[in-house]
Every structure is written in C-alpha cells, then in structure tokens.
Amino acid sequence: MKSTERLRMRTQLGYGAGDLYGGGAFFIVSTLYLVFLTDVMGVRPALAGLVVLIARGWDAVSDPVMGMITDRTRTRMGRRRPYFLLGMPFIVLSFVFLWYPAGFAAEWARFSYALVTYLFFSTVITMVMIPYNALASELTLDYGERSRLTAYRLAFSELSTIICALVPLLIIDAAASRAVGYPIMGLIFGLFFALPFLATFLTTSERPDFTARSTPAEWKAFAEPFRNRTFRRFILIFLFSFAAIDIVLAIIVFFVTHYLRIPHLTNLLLGTLLIVQLVLLPLYYALSRRYSKIIALITGAVIWIIAMLSSLFLRPGLPIPVYFVFAALVGSGTGGVIVMAYAIFPDIPDVDELVSGRRREGIFAGVQTFLRKLTGAFAVFLVGQAIDIAGYVSPTESMVNGAAQVVIAEQSQAFITVLRVVFAAVPIVFIFLTILISLRFPLSREVHGKLKAYLAERRANDGKVVDEAYEKELRALLFD
C-alpha cells in the first residue's frame, strides 16, 4: 500500500466500527460503574474507587505485554486482526459479568467480586483494543489520511457513546429492578460491542513489509517509548485531556441528580453533549487539514474551559433549555480535544522508526491503552474518595405496587460544595495543562511530511541511513 493511496471507504467504515466498543464501553463504565457499585452492589464509594485503581496495577503489566505479543504475532491473517475474532465472545462475557450484582452478605465479598470481574473486563479491553489501536498506523502512512481515518473512527465512537448515553438507563429502568436491569443491559451491549469486530476483521488488511520485520521480545522495550520526546509530549496531552473528560463523566450523574435535581434528564443531557461532538467532527477535521491537529485541539480545549467556567453559574430551578445549552457547549469543546488526541497517535510510531528502524505500533499502543485506562481509574478513584469524604448517602430502593422505586437521599451542603468543585475546577486545571503542552508539540504537518519522505527513502535503501546529517537534524527535533 503506497503512502499516498487514499483509503477505501469500506476500510474506513470497517475500521471505525471497531471503536463502537472502545468509545461505548468506556463511556458506560465511566458514567454508571461507580453508581452501580455504590447504589446497587452496596460497596462504599472509597472501596468502589479502589476497585478500578487496583486493576491498573494489572494493566501496567498486561497492556505492554499485549503490545509486545501483537508486534511478534505472525499469522496469515496478520499481527493485529486475529485478536478481533478471538476477542468477540470474551467481550460479551466480560460485560455481562461486570454488571451482575452479586448478592454476597459481606462487603469484602462484594468488593472481591467487583474486582475480579473488572480485571476480566480490563483484560479483554487490552486483548482487543491494543491491536486495534496499533493497526491505525499501518493502514495509511499519510498525515491527512490518518486524520480522515481517525475522524471516521471517532464518528463511530461518538455514535456508540450517544447510544450508550441514552439507552442503558432506559433498559435498567424498564426492568423489574435495577438488580435485574443492569445484567440485561450488560448482555445487550456486550453483543453490540462484539459483533462489529467481524466487519473490522473483514475490511482491513496489514502491510506485509511491516509484518515481515522482526521485533525482538525485550522487556526494556516497554520503557523505550518514554525516551521519545514527541511521545512524551503526546502522552501528557492525551493523559491530561482524558483525565478532564473522565472526571466529568464519573461525577456527572451525581451532579445532575443531587445538585441540579433533574435526574430524569441525565441521559438526555449526555445525549446532547455527544450529538454536538459528533456533528462537529467534520469541522475539527477540516480545521486540522487547513492548519494542524494541534490548532484544532487547542481550539476545542479553549471552548471547553469556557464551558466549565459557565457551570459555576448553573443552579437548580433554571429553565430546562439552559442545561441543554450548557451540555452542547461542553460537547463543542470536548469533541475537538478527543478527535485530535486520537488523530495524533498514529504519527508517533513514525518517529520511533526513525531511531529504531522498526515498526513497533503494538508497544506504543500498549503504553497508550494502559495510560488511557489509568486516567479512567484515576477519575473514578478521585470521585469515589471525594464523595465518600464529603459524606455521600446512597439512595434506597423499595417495592411499590410490585415495582422497585428508587428514593434519592438528601445530601449535605458540604457534599454539594465538593460536587461542584470537582465537576468544574479539576477539569479546568487539566485542560489548561493540555493547552500548555500542546503549544510545545514538535510534530507539525510540515515536519511529519519531511519525516515520512525520509523514511520512505530509507526503506527503499534497505533501512540504511540515506543522509546522516539530515537524520540527525530530524532526531534532534523529534526524539532527543
């Protein structure tokens, strides 16, 4: 496949369909899992946050190992694609078990069940999404086409996230009780996430020249991405932006329910935010094509800061349209940050090839996936600890005319204050840091064009140095 070749539509759609899982599963877990553990499983918020944080210790090993495994896999189907088929049944099973409310009497037993099932879910995410993320760098070598591919991927991710914002609570509320509704929701969405990977498998292909290169299994390779200055800058942009997103998602249900007192509008507000994100994807893609990915990202970040500052003026009892305008403003900012953070990643392994001479997308994807899950864990842990210290009181459930009815508990003023601070101020700090680091990101469109052209020359020369002085110049700019 030539670097200038335009990707076929079926490839862009098929690849994008895989992120129905990545976008949707993370969203459901980010918004509902803490509520599920505290309000349905009966686990204290501090312990609930600990479940996700402990799992990251396992991910610190499993994610980089999976990156190395997929880099070294050699089959007729390629290095990445076999794991899409292998992972499909496990996606369904892990998502059902994750939402099954085990009714153990002892809290330690409920905590243990939650920890084991979350570890299972996290391992399946690792097995499937690391090869998926790594594949993007191989489908095309072109800077602009990678942005286009990411836009299609994020369109599917946003579509999935919209569905996951609107439908799960409808399924849960329609069931006889939440204890029944959650596992039903898990089964339905497990199938929704798993089946598209068949399309991803059938519509994508891998580069034979990349697959043919040997990638030694070295443990030190896990730390090598951090020697890459471009990767270090990228990963800070990625971490800080998604930390802000994950904190908002982890606390928004509590914010809407206990401060704004409009719990019946939670899914509609989330849906509005996500629809705006989806609608603005072409705009941010066009902005990145005309200027750069970093300019598009910073534009979204500035809008997002304005939106979070405006949340300080929200209060209960305002006209309903005001809340929807706020949700739309948040979505118009987060959309640019999300799509550009993902669009930048496929360019990073090119910098590594300049120095190592190898294509190690799997290792980079492993590190990225681990750190992405770490931000989600950090958000859930932070929110869990904050609301536990603030004295969160879980709702109760009683049977009325044969149907379960949830009674929302009255919260203290201290809890409401903590809720508002965590919702607004903490994300603003992370977004501001994202902007500062973005301003110093070295891999611009022009620089990537020079890098791509030089790597093509070097590949044609059997990987040997073509221009030592020029290569040193590129390395000094991007790596050292």
Q: pLDDT tens digits for 319-364?
A: 999 999 999 999 999 989 988 888 888 888 888 888 888 877 777 8
Q: With 50 as the cut, is the pLDDT of residue 3 above it?
A: no
Q: Are residues 321 and 175 in the same domain?
A: yes
Q: Are residues 61 and 88 in the same domain?
A: yes
Which phi and psi angles does 35 have, rounded to 5°?
-65, -40
Q: With 50 as the cut, is the pLDDT of residue 474 above it?
A: yes
Which tokens hold the place of 128? 């499937």
Contact 327, 273 (CB under 8 A): yes
Q: What would the mean pLDDT of 228-236 be, rounded to a whole number?
A: 91
Q: With 70 as the cut, is the pLDDT of residue 304 above it?
A: yes
Q: With 80 as the cut, is the pLDDT of residue 69 above it?
A: yes
Q: Are residues 88 and 51 in the same domain?
A: yes
Contact 43, 111 (CB under 8 A): yes
Which tokens hold the place of 208? 């034979």
Structural domain contains residue 385: yes
Q: Say how many domains are in the chain.
A: 2
pLDDT of residue 404: 57
Q: Are residues 95 and 123 in the same domain?
A: yes
Structural domain contains residue 3: no
What average pLDDT does the structure give for the chain? 86
Residue 407's alpha-carbon distances to 36, 44, 107, 253, in angstroms, are 15, 18, 22, 15
Residue 4's alpha-carbon distances to 31, 236, 411, 429, in angstroms, are 40, 30, 59, 40
Q: Are residues 459 and 421 in the same domain?
A: no
Q: Place 35 in a pLDDT band, splitting at 50, 70 and 90.
A: confident
Higher model confidence: residue 96 or residue 364?
A: 96
The closest of 159, 154, 168, 137 to 31, measured between CA atoms, is: 168
Structural domain contains residue 2: no
> Residue 298 sits in a domain of what CATH number?
1.20.1250.20
Q: Out of 140-144, 291-295, 438-442, which region has the weakest mean confidence (pLDDT)?
A: 140-144
pLDDT of residue 302: 97
Q: Are residues 29 and 156 in the same domain?
A: yes
Q: pLDDT tens digits for 144-157?
A: 787 788 888 888 98
Structural domain contains residue 405: no
Q: Are residues 33 and 169 in the same domain?
A: yes
Q: Are residues 380 and 466 in the same domain?
A: no
Q: Are residues 385 and 343 in the same domain?
A: yes
What is the distance between the alpha carbons of residues 12 and 77, in angstroms, rounded to a whole number? 19
Q: With 90 as the cut, is the pLDDT of residue 245 above it?
A: no
Which tokens hold the place of 284? 């941010």
Higher model confidence: residue 150 or residue 280?
A: 280
pLDDT of residue 1: 41
Classify 397 as helix, strand or coil: strand
**Domain that residue 321 falls in:** 9-203+229-391+412-443
Structural domain contains residue 276: yes
Q: What would the mean pLDDT of 453-473 be, rounded to a whole number?
A: 86
Q: Are residues 148 and 63 in the same domain?
A: yes
Q: pLDDT tens digits for 427-448?
A: 999 999 999 999 999 988 888 8
The most confident of 96-105, 132-141, 391-400, by mean pLDDT: 96-105
What is the distance between the alpha carbons of residues 350 and 338, in angstroms, rounded to a whole number? 21
The closest of 284, 471, 328, 381 to 52, measured between CA atoms, is: 381
Structural domain contains residue 166: yes
Higher model confidence: residue 315 or residue 7?
A: 315
CA 138, 144, 148, 151: dihedral to nearest 10 degrees?
100
Q: Are residues 456 and 310 in the same domain?
A: no
Q: Are residues 373 and 462 in the same domain?
A: no
The closest of 122, 115, 116 to 60, measured between CA atoms, is: 122
What is the distance between the alpha carbons of residues 369 and 59, in angstroms, rounded to a whole number? 9
Which tokens hold the place of 288? 């990145």
Structural domain contains residue 342: yes
Structural domain contains residue 261: yes
pLDDT of residue 300: 96
Q: Place 218 in a pLDDT band, splitting at 50, 70 and 90.
A: low
> How many other CB atoms are there within 10 angstroms of residue 344's CB atom?
26
